[in-house]
């Protein structure tokens, strides 16, 4: 009866088969302990050995949990690119009201974006045509909103999910009151591949919003139920 009960214990929750190599290069079997496994062993050990083992595993798992919490806090505290863009527009509006020069604007923008790895191009840059806005990418890839227009917001949401896209992004000022995020042709291909790998989703979640997209501007003018009839 006792053995029957023990056989029901999920051993993988406590012990994990593994191996190690000794100083002579020989391989031996061993078992790794999970947190529950450590607690099980600690409960069986008595005296000084039990105390030392308990102290060691409690200390180590607390360190791991602390590291995980700190990583989560850092990830949540890290500002999003959209937040930089919003802040930049507010400052640019103030610079415009103060009649700041274009050099002052460029210096400010470089100070904001270049630490993020995003190049800042001056207004009127000759290679301007080589870069696409999110709306232009939406038009190229035929990504539409329910109104039948190219869905730039949805494309921006997709780009935010592609970390390497930032390396191929530039910021360009327009006038003295705003910034325009633009992307080179490689980002167009990245967005296309993302859609392909994610089975061309109809909803793109981003920052608490959910952008509904259509891949045929004619369908976007109707409800799903109407388009199926």
pLDDT digits (tens, 9 = 90+) for 135-152: 999 999 999 998 889 999
How many separate domains does the chain show? Answer: 2
Between 212 and 76, the more confident residue is 212
Question: 218 and 140: one domain?
Answer: yes
Question: 130 and 208: one domain?
Answer: yes
Structure tokens at 8: 């029901």
Among residues of the chain, what percentage have pLDDT more than 70?
78
Distance from C-alpha of 202 to C-alpha of 219, rounded to nearest angstrom: 12
Question: 119 and 195: one domain?
Answer: yes
Question: 71 and 86: one domain?
Answer: no
Q: In 195-226, which positions are buried (b, 16+ CB within 10 angstroms) versus exposed (e)?
A: beeeeeeeebebeeeebebbeebebbeeeeee
Domain that holds residue 53: 2-77
pLDDT in tens, 5-40: 545 555 667 778 888 898 888 898 888 877 777 777
Number of H helices, E strands in the chain: 9, 7
CA separation, residue 196 to residues 183, 187, 193 (Å): 19, 14, 5
Distance from C-alpha of 79 to C-alpha of 89, rounded to nearest angstrom: 16
Q: What is the pTM of this model?
A: 0.51
Phi, psi angles (nearest 5°) of residue 170: -135, 155
What 17-26 contacts at long range (C-beta under 8 Å, 24+ apart), as own/partner pairs, is none
Mean pLDDT of the region 83-101: 74
In sign, the C-alpha dihedral spanning 164, 208, 210, 86 is negative
Structure tokens at 20: 């190690």
Question: 52 and 88: one domain?
Answer: no
pLDDT in tens, 107-139: 887 887 777 777 777 655 555 557 888 999 999
Q: Has residue 195 got a pLDDT over 70?
A: yes
Q: What pLDDT, on the 0 to 100 scale, is given for residue 189?
A: 93
End-of-domain residue from the set 77, 103, 138: 77
């Amino acid at each position: 009866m006792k053995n029957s009960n023990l056989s029901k214990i999920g051993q993988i929750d406590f012990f994990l088969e593994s191996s190690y190599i000794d100083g002579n290069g020989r391989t031996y079997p061993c078992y790794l302990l999970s947190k529950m496994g450590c607690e099980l062993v600690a409960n069986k050990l008595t005296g000084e050995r039990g105390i030392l083992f308990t102290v060691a595993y409690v200390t180590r798992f607390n360190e791991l949990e602390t590291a995980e919490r700190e990583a989560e806090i850092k990830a949540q505290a890290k500002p999003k690119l959209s937040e930089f863009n919003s802040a930049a527009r507010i400052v640019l509006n103030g610079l415009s009201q103060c009649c700041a020069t274009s050099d002052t604007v460029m210096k400010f923008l470089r100070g904001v974006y270049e630490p993020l790895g995003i190049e800042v191009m001056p207004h009127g840059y000759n290679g301007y045509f080589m870069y696409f806005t999110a709306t232009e990418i939406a038009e190229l890839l035929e990504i539409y909103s329910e109104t039948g227009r190219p869905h730039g917001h949805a494309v921006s949401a997709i780009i935010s999910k592609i970390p390497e896209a930032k390396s191929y992004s530039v910021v360009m000022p327009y006038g003295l009151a705003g910034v325009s995020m633009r992307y080179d042709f490689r980002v167009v291909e990245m967005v296309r591949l993302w859609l392909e790998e994610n089975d061309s989703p109809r909803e793109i979640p981003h920052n608490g919003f959910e952008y509904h997209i259509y891949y045929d501007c004619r369908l976007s003018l109707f409800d799903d139920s109407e388009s199926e009839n």
